[in-house]
């Protein structure tokens, strides 16, 4: 296998791992927001504040534009689900691209 193909496959693998980690960050942010909304965990806890801030800063740049384009759904936020489906599509595309090399 040529060196360039090996390098490209390695880069695609790393991108796939980063996308998988981002899905986990989205899930943590969504579950954390539910736990805060149902008053299961205390938002005044510094650890909870730190996790919430990290999740918000990592996810809001991609979730914000999706939220602005979605119609109001009575308090139901489907933007994380739409973004996860988009990431899964991108991961599938990367896998097929890797198989074509």
pLDDT of residue 35: 95
Helix axis angle for 3-37 and 46-69, nearest 10°, is: 110
Give the closest residue to 18 by CA, choosing from 81, 80, 94, 82: 94
What integer best gives the mean pLDDT of the chain? 94
Statement: residue 26 has pLDDT above 90: yes
Helix axis angle for 79-100 and 3-37, nearest 10°, is: 170
Give the closest residue to 86 by CA, choosing from 1, 22, 10: 22
pTM: 0.91
For 45-89, the pLDDT digits (tens) are 999 999 999 999 999 999 999 999 999 888 889 999 999 999 999
């Amino acid at each position: 296998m040529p060196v360039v193909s090996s390098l490209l496959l390695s880069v695609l693998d790393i991108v796939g791992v980063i996308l998988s980690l981002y899905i986990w960050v989205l899930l943590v942010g969504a579950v954390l927001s539910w736990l805060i909304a149902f008053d299961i965990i205390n938002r005044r806890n510094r650890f909870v504040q730190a996790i919430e801030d990290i999740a918000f800063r990592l996810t809001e740049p991609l979730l914000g534009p999706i939220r602005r384009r979605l119609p109001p759904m009575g308090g139901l936020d489907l933007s994380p689900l739409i973004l996860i489906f988009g990431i899964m599509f991108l991961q599938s595309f990367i896998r097929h691209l890797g198989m074509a090399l």
